[in-house]
Amino acid sequence: MNKIKVGIINVTGYAGVELARLLSQHPEVELTSVTGRSTAGKKLGEIFPHLASLDLMIQTELSEVDLAFSAMPHQQSAEEVIPLLNRGIKVVDISADFRLKDETEYPHWYNFTHPTPELLKEAVYGLTELYRAQIASARLVANPGCYPTGAILALAPAVKAGLIEPDIIIDSKSGVSGAGRTLKLQSHYSEANEDTTAYALAGHRHLPEIIQELGMLSPGQSPEITFVPHLLPMTRGILTTCYAPLVSGKLPLNEEGEEELKQLYQDFYMGEFFVKVVELPPHTKHTWGSNFCLIHPTIDHRTGRLIVVSCIDNLVKGAAGQAIQNMNLMLDLPETTGLKSPAIYP
C-alpha cells in the first residue's frame, strides 16, 4: 500500500530536523520532500549524517505532498503556508503565525501585521489533548509553542475545574535548543555553560498564547499570568513549575486534598497516552527524546497554593512530536503512530 507523502519546509532548523528524524520511523507516511535556504541542492545526509538513510535532496520548494510541516521562522511561515492551503495541501505550522486568534496581538508580540487574519479564525490550536476533534477535521493546525505546551497541560485541569484564583505564576526552565539553531551570543557554549539566567521579564511572546488558551478553559475569568522563562545549560527539555492560590474551600489543605487533586488530574487525562500524572516531581531526563508530558500536582499546605510541575522535551512534545501527533489525527491515523518510543535514559 502506498504511504502518505509528507514534506518539511525548512528542514535545517532544530524542529525541522527533529521532524525528519521522527518521520523516518513512521510506518504510515513517507517523507518525500524537504526544503532549506542556504543548503538547497545538497543531500540531507550531507548536512545531517544521522539522516543519510532518507536519501533526500534539500530543495528550494516542496514537491507534491499530501501534508506539509512548516518549520519556518515567525512571519516567514505564513508566507509559505498560504500557497500550500490554496493548493489543497494540509498544513501543520510549527511557528506562531496562526496560534493567536486576535490579529492585533501580532504587531505587539511578533512585530508584523498578519497577512491573512481570516485564517486565524480557521486555524485549530494543535494541543491535541484539548482539541482532538477539531484537529481531526482541520486543514490548518497551529502547533503550540514549547513553553505553552508544558504550562497549559500543567494548569488545564485546575483551571477547568475552577480550583484556582486567576493570579497564576509560571516559572519555566528550558534547554538551549529552544533558542533555535541560528547563532546567538547567549547560546554560545562559553556563555550558556555553567550558567542559568532568566529572560524576557517584560513579557515573553508565548505569554498571549498561554493566556488565550487558559482563558478558553474558564470563560468569564481572565487569567492574570506572570510568566518567567529561564535558560539552562542543557540541550533539551523544559521544566515548568506553576503556582496559584486555591479557591477557598475547594480542597482541604492536607493529604486528603492532595489525593483529591491528584484524582482530578488523573480523571482529566484519563486515556491520554502522552500525558502522565506522576507520583514524584518529574525530571527533564524523564522525557528526553520522547513525546510524553509528565505532570505532578500538589498543594502547599501552609499557603493554600496549588503547585504543579510538568516536564517535556521541547523538541518533541514541544515541537516535532506534537506536530506528528496532529498530523496523525488530520490523516485519520492512530494518534500515537510513530511516537510511542519512551524517553532515552540516562
| Residues classed as catalytic | 146
DSSP three-state, residue 36 = coil
Alpha helices in the chain (DSSP H): 14-23, 44-47, 76-86, 105-110, 117-122, 128-136, 146-160, 189-192, 207-217, 255-268, 321-330
* Pairing outcome for strands 29-35 and 90-93: unpaired
- Interhelix angle for 321-330 vs 128-136, to 10°? 30
Distance of alpha carbon 282 from alpha carbon 294, whole angstroms: 6
Report whether 15 contacts 320 (CB < 8 A). Answer: yes
Distance of alpha carbon 147 from alpha carbon 205, whole angstroms: 10
Residue whose cell numbers read 532568566: 198
Distance of alpha carbon 162 from alpha carbon 303, whole angstroms: 18
Distance of alpha carbon 334 from alpha carbon 202, whole angstroms: 41
- Interhelix angle for 321-330 vs 14-23, to 10°? 50
Task: Count CB neighbours of 83 within 10 A.
Answer: 11
Grid coordinates given for 257 = 486534598
Question: Smallest Cα–Cα separation from 335: which of 124, 94, 135?
Answer: 135
Chain centre distance of CA 129: 12
Task: Count CB neighbours of 188 within 10 A.
Answer: 11
Burial of residue 285 (CB within 10 Å: 0-12, 13-18, 19+) is middle
